[in-house]
Structure 1
Amino acid sequence: MTYRKRTISVAPMMDWTDRHCRMFHRQITRHTWLYTEMVTTGALLHGDVPRHLDFNDEEHPVALQLGGSEPADLAKSAKLGEQWGYDEINLNCGCPSERVQKGAFGACLMAEANLVADGVKAMRDAVDIDVTVKHRVGIDEIEHYDFVRDFVGTIADAGCKTFIVHARNAILKGLSPKENREIPPLKYDFAYQLKRDFPALEIIINGAIKTTAEIDLHLQHVDGVMLGREAYHNPYLMADFDGRYYDDHEITPKSRAEILQAMMPYIRQQLALHGNDGKGLRLNSITRHMLGLMAGLPGARSYRQALSDSKKLALGDPALLLEAMARMQPLAA
């Protein structure tokens, strides 16, 4: 299948954008690109490949984000991703956590543009799908635009055509990952300038974008917008994205109630496959991603409380979704 450009996407978020989260998001928007949590090359080459790479066909278009720095390992991992059916391989050059730094990947790779270029070239030689890079605009005290311009230019020379720009610096020492998402100032103008300097590249902007008005503004300057935590905490924001950003007006946005109904067969299937006995899959592993569906509506708190009832979750009955929805009636048709 041929996909449109990545006008809107949902960011890879550790512990959040697993296959259940992506399946939920896919009930809300058909065309928005979805990304996995970061998977390290070590986990793929020495671990349980199906556990890391298995996903649902309905998730397409879906990208695999890799963490790693060794070109040969990246190439092997990218090939695995292609064989499992992913539509894109994305290299993480933006995560600032110390655990990631110790593995010599993530944001610290921005200081080694030639190594990243070697990794991108190795992956592109290994696969036929797109290879993209997600990165910051700087690291630590490096505040000048020339740094990210030269980084992008070097990687582009290796054949990368798509760059996802988290428009903040990454502070590698002294700030937690959470603080790195909030404290370094946003530099949207750096992403805009990248598009002006590299008009042939696909430039996607990321960082604290929360409304359709903000998305529309950014799309005047760049090719795409990647949403992060707002897509998770307020997922119904994406309900009209297929028509608004992908010109697919044949798709009628589902109501919140229809989204919950659509998830029930999937939940039953997953529980039947993996069990709900406390050792396998827990109902909460899926429903936890759905807590934000009623964000902003009267009764949202009661909905969340119903979905968070530990005793009822332990029963493993997807009908809990209907009970949670009933807390909203007739507020959320």
Structure 2
Amino acid sequence: MTDTTIAFTPPEWAPQSSVWVGWPHLKDAWAEDYDGAQREIAALVKALSPVVKVKLVIGDPASRAEAADLIGDLAEMYDAPMGDIWLRDIGPVFVKYLNRLEGLGFEFNGWGGKYELEGDTETAAAIARLEGHPLKRLPFVLEGGAVEQDGDGNLITTRQCVLNPNRNEGWTEKTAEENLKLAFNVSRIIWLGDGLLGDHTDGHVDNIARFIGPGHVLCQTPSGDDDPNADILRAIEDELRSVELEVSTIPSPGRLEDEDGEPIPASHMNFLISNGRVILPVYEDTYSKIAEAELQALMPDHEVIALPANHILTGGGSFHCMTQQVPEIDEGLST
């Protein structure tokens, strides 16, 4: 169990006061997918806006007009340093103590030195300042998409990412567990092995396993005879079932390819939960309708909304990767 007398990270299904969303502005990086990614993100904002305040990070003032054309007044817009849209990894992770919030700011090195963009190391402090909450700096490299928590003391991560020497050279499993338990006030670290093939994050857990309730974790089963991640997905399910969690599954998108015929890391796990809605990424894949229906059955108190994310995926992620939620503060509680 989590000790609620100190700061802890609420689960994603807890009430949220706002959701921060990254807005694309690097035209050269997104190339022919730039306009499509903006349209898909605009659809995400429209799906979120009835249930939560949406706050858009405009990394380049020149893209503000583009956002306004597609979103109108459905989101508040803020100019802030941001290399690209992946706020889950570069933004603050908000932890809660009674009626106070604090942002955790980790060291960020461009996913192991692969993509170092101007502004990314300043995003966490900027968002925390705009929210009016202090930022606590932690002296190790970690991205928000590398950890998944249930608010009840359980945290899932992957060895491929967190123990990768391109993050924190010399870290052992013991060192990592000590740091993660202290940072997030959790009692148990659950280790998975590898993430999806082609995932440049080195195996972020939010592409392979997500909590949908205390001690209840969701993962994917292989889809189609040619699912490139079949062995990986089976190993993930086996590992989760071995550690006394309730485990449910939905189908993966199966094999999807880039223009060179290589498999891309499409995942139905990269959904966002916010105030009674679940925004599920789909990729014009054969299995998306099944995934949507099965997820809706597993989360009957939420409305599951499936939205295309093909263009966003070309940048390396999906709805969860490009957002960061801010928990509601419990009014009336003393500090």
Q: TM-score, normalised by structure 1?
A: 0.32
**Structure whose residues are more often helix by fraction:** 1
Larger radius of gyration: 1
**Structure whose residues are more often strand by fraction:** 2
Between the two structures, name the one with larger relative contact order (CA 8 Å, sep ≥ 6). 2
